[in-house]
Amino acid sequence: MLDRIKACLPSLAPAEQRVGKLVLGDPRGFANLPISELAERARVSKPTVVRFCRSVGYKGLSDFKLKLAGSVSEGVPFIHRSVDADDKTGDITVKVIDNTVAAFLKYRNDASAVAIEKAATALVQACRNGKRIEFFGVGNSGIVAQDAQHKFFRLGMHTSACSDGHLQVMAATLLGPGDCVVVISNSGRTRDLIDACDIARKHGATTIVISASGSPLAAAAGIHLAADHPEGYELYSPMVSRLLHLLMIDILATCVALRIGGATLQPLLREMKNNLRSKRYR
């Protein structure tokens, strides 16, 4: 929410910009202060405060304060950073969706097209040369690895997903030049994944890492796709990180599919879809 307000500032009237700067300077204080004091601190009228809230997409000051309080709140530990224990179902729905959308928009602005291009090129080359592509992840990230394997498997690539530390080490040992391993981790601090990534790299495989910037796993990557978001990796039930990782896999899969080419891929996907029709009720 704060990123969105910051992006909107240049398009606002000067008086509304002062209200926006007041929000960005002290979001917690803004959420708790009465409109009279907000207007005084921003050196604007009370209607201008309300007009600012509507200009950035909210119904009014009350709606803006509710969303702002949820955005800057630390929330219920280990569940979701923006929700509170006494939230109603409607509030929870809005907060979870807003948190996710904000993370997606932040990634849209921060994503490195150069890194994505390098990763897609390596995966396409592995596909064309009949090389292997491994997806590694543990826990929550292991589920993302399975989803990634399914997406790339459908493109006719030699893929597998592994979430067991021992099997990851064995699989990494069997990789060689031209092969790729995509390692997915929210924290970037899982020892098994770092060890497997190091082994794969030593054997000449291309190592693509989806993880937070500055993590030990990111440092071990051949190609790093930064997945930075406001959700702490210590959460027991991470939500935003999983959805962000799935989004990044979708971007990679789309890039790879387009580079493989429709002439090769479309007949395969069409036949696959036709063969699957017998599995469904009419």
Contact 180, 122 (CB under 8 A): yes
In the chain, domain spans: 1-72, 113-273
Over residues 72-97, the pLDDT tens digits come to 654 444 345 566 677 788 877 877 78
For the purposes of burial, counting CB atoms within 10 Å of the CB of 175, is it exposed (0-12), middle (13-18) or buried (19 or more)?
buried
Q: Which two tokens stand for residue 26?
A: 């002290």
The architecture that CATH gives domain 113-273 is 3-Layer(aba) Sandwich (3.40)
Closest by CA to 186, choosing from 237, 128, 233, 243, is 233
Closest by CA to 213, choosing from 229, 199, 198, 228, is 228
pLDDT at 262 over 80: no
Average pLDDT, the chain: 86
Split at pLDDT 50, 70, 90, the class of 71 is: low
Q: Pairing mode, if any, of strands 180-184 and 132-136?
A: parallel
Over residues 148-177, the pLDDT tens digits come to 999 999 888 899 999 999 999 999 999 999
Is domain 1-72 classified as CATH 1.10.10.10?
yes
Return the DSSP state at 49.
H
Over residues 182-218, the pLDDT tens digits come to 999 988 889 999 999 999 999 999 999 999 888 899 9
pTM: 0.69
Query: What is the average per-residue pLDDT within 112-125?
Result: 95
Split at pLDDT 50, 70, 90, the class of 234 is: low
